[in-house]
A and B are shown apart, each in its own frame.
Chain A
């Protein structure tokens, strides 16, 4: 239980670090309570009770236990109609300004000014840095994969292809073409995906992945592991053939020594560019 409470406490801090919608929510609830909005009282009190439950560590921990460890803290806020409550508060305030007799003396631009102020407050309640780094690279990576797979399909129009390549190509390979088979998938580097299957990768597949990542980063075709074992391109080719690989894409940034190794083991590439080399087995 102590672990759950700690996670709930840390979760609340992370939830409010990124943006301030939680603050907008609390301000909205306060306004609606003071305003004594007659409609939808049950909706209002539910929102108050559930917001408090999501904030206080003990009740938040219980909610996290209910939703299971599969989900992180921020998902308990699904239970709170945050967007709706803030929108209700804003709507009520603007309606008040529009119809209240005491506010008749306000000029039109002043009433519109309140609306603009609410929009500005909302904008600055989000995270101005906008954590979208993960999404921006996607288009570029997807296009790279599409281009490479188009090249493969020029050489083999139909049928399945078992491909071994750097992870940035494997990332979207099966999303682009379901007939591309892989010795290992995205869950090799995106560990969250391991929840979707009971299967685990064997040592051979791990070796292929580590060798390819090392080759991409260093340009070397020989890799020395932590226990001192050397893994060569020849070793990896042997593993790849055993796993049914029939097409290999290597990074085009290999060193001169690496390229010599490739020439000896694989011969001439079917296709060459600055970024990648394609070989058919």
Chain B
């Protein structure tokens, strides 16, 4: 399969790299016992280098067949539904924050200039500390950076603005998957995206469902994994883009607690490759018998 970088690929790979850079900054600050502001400076420097590298990176564009007639109507319907979901998220009336302390953690970083030395729930110093498996999660560092540069309340940025960005990223991921599944057929790609949008809209009935995560808890690592990284991973597996697959596995380890880095992406990749090999062997045997 061809491995041309599309617009969706650039955006998603850029997102995965940003997660990686925030992780590096987070780990350096924790291991070297540096203040939060030092971690942010390192993150900004790394992002600047990344942006410069991206500008000079050669990129190829796929030739997109323009939508006509019915395809345009489908695409417009998708855009309308996306905007409605965006409005729903930005209103912030239905945020689910049970069992999560991201906002408190970010606020603690911003006000005390420390990383995981102060209990975010009380603002007092830890007596025994936090588990290392949680300290390595880099999303609070990334969100704290956003709160530092955007002059809005941190709970608005984290629980409403970030989920809006995650919603857009989710549709880029599904767009990449659509192109991998229905290459060159833009009508099917549009219909696929519209179906995804409808399924997300009606699928918010239980915590743990993709629709619930995207519409009510888009800032959580588990939601970003489920709605952005996993669909994008499948598009990369179909296209056999190994570098992208590795980036997905590493990004997941940075934003969700996994068992020593072994998360959903590792298992998906393993079973996907295994299923492919078994399927090809069975096909060859059938052809041989035929």
A179 interface residue, CB < 8 Å from B?
Answer: yes
Q: Is the CB of B234 within 8 A of A43?
A: yes
User: How far apart are the CA atoms of A182 and B123 in the complex, in Å?
Assistant: 7
Residues of A within 8 A of B (CB): 15, 18-19, 21, 39-43, 45-46, 49-50, 63, 66-68, 70, 72, 74-75, 77-79, 81-84, 86-88, 90-91, 94-95, 98, 119, 122-123, 125-127, 130-132, 134-136, 138-139, 142, 160, 172, 174-187, 190, 192-193, 196-199
The answer to whether the Cβ of B248 comes within 8 Å of any Cβ in the partner chain is no
Provide the residues of chain A in CB contact with B127, threshold 8 Å: 198-199
Of B93, B123, B154, B206, which contacts A19 at CB under 8 A? B206
| Residues in B whose Cβ lies below 8 Å from that of A198 | 126-131
**CA distance in complex: A86, B279 (Å):** 22
Task: Enumerate chain B residues within 8 angstroms of A174, measured Cβ to Cβ.
Answer: 103-104, 107-108, 120-123
Residues in B with CB closer than 8 Å to A68 are: 257, 259
Contact between B234 and A81 (Cβ–Cβ < 8 Å)?
Answer: yes
Q: A95-B191, A142-B155, A190-B98 are in contact. Are A72 and B111 (CB under 8 A)?
A: no
In the assembly, what is the distance between CA of A31 and CA of B93, in Å?
38
Report the nearest A residue to B134, measured CB to CB: A196
B56 interface residue (CB < 8 Å to A):
no
The smallest C-beta distance from B276 to any residue of chain A, in angstroms, reads: 4
Q: Map CB proximity to A onto B184-223 as digits: 1 under 8 Å, 0 otherwise.
A: 0101100110011011101111111111000010000010
Contacts of A187 in B (CB 8 A): 121
Q: Which of chain A's residues has its CB closest to B109's CB?
A: A178
Chain A proximity of B218: nearest CB distance (Å): 13
User: 23 A-B contacts, Cβ less than 8 Å apart?
Assistant: A15-B206, A39-B182, A43-B237, A78-B264, A98-B187, A122-B198, A122-B199, A130-B204, A132-B204, A134-B98, A136-B93, A142-B155, A175-B104, A178-B108, A178-B111, A181-B122, A185-B122, A190-B98, A192-B99, A197-B130, A197-B131, A199-B127, A199-B128
In contact, B104 and A91 (Cβ under 8 angstroms): no
- Cβ-based interface call for B251 (8 A): no
CB within 8 Å of A: which B219-241 residues: 222, 225-226, 230-231, 234, 237-238
Instruction: Tell me which residues across on chain A come within 8 A of B226, comparing CB atoms.
Output: 78
A70-B257, A182-B124 are known; give 4 further A-B pairs, CB within 8 A. Answer: A45-B279, A66-B267, A174-B123, A198-B127
Asked whether, in the complex, the Cβ of B275 is within 8 Å of the Cβ of A196, the reply is no
In whole angstroms, what is the CA distance A88 to B196 when docked? Answer: 9
Interface size on B, residues (CB 8 A): 81
A-B contact count, CB below 8 Å? 222
Q: Which residue of A lies closest to B234 (CB)?
A: A81
- Contact between B275 and A46, CB atoms less than 8 A apart: yes
Q: Verify A139–B104 contact, CB threshold 8 A.
A: no
Please name all residues of chain A whose beta carbon is closer than 8 Å to the beta carbon of B107 when the two chains form the complex: 174-175, 177-178
A195 to B120, CA, bound (A): 13
Distance in Å: Cβ of A134 to nearest Cβ of chain B: 6
- Tell me the smallest distance from the CB of A63 to a CB of chain B, in Å: 8
Q: Which residues of A contact B203 (CB under 8 A)?
A: 19, 21, 83, 126
C-alpha spacing A50/B270, complex, angstroms:
12
Q: B97 in the interface, Cβ–Cβ < 8 Å?
A: yes
B21 CB, nearest partner CB in chain A, Å: 24
Q: Which residue of B lies closest to A125 (CB)?
A: B202
The answer to the question of B45 belonging to the interface, with a C-beta cut-off of 8 Å to chain A, is no
Assess A193 versus B101: contact at CB under 8 Å? Given A46-B272, A135-B216, A175-B107.
Answer: yes
B94 within 8 A of A: yes
Rounded to whole angstroms, the CA-CA distance of A77 and B202 in the bound complex is 17
Residues of A contacting B196 with CB < 8 Å?
Answer: 83-84, 87
A193 to B101, CA, bound (A): 8
Please name all residues of chain B whose beta carbon is closer than 8 Å to the beta carbon of A177 when the two chains form the complex.
107
Kindly identify which residue among A42, A84, A88 contacts B275, using a CB–CB cutoff of 8 Å. Answer: A42
CB closest residue in chain B, given A41: B279
Cβ–Cβ < 8 Å partners of B134 in chain A: 196
Contacts of B112 in A (CB 8 A): 178
Closest B residue, CB atoms, query A75? B208
Within 109-168 of B, Cβ neighbours of A (below 8 Å) are at 110-112, 119-124, 126-131, 134, 153-155
User: Which residue on chain A has the smallest CB distance to residue B226?
Assistant: A78
What CA separation (Å) do A175 and B159 show in the bound complex?
11
> Inside 8 A of A83's CB, which chain B residues have their CB?
174, 196, 199-200, 203, 210, 231
Are A181's CB and B110's CB within 8 A?
no
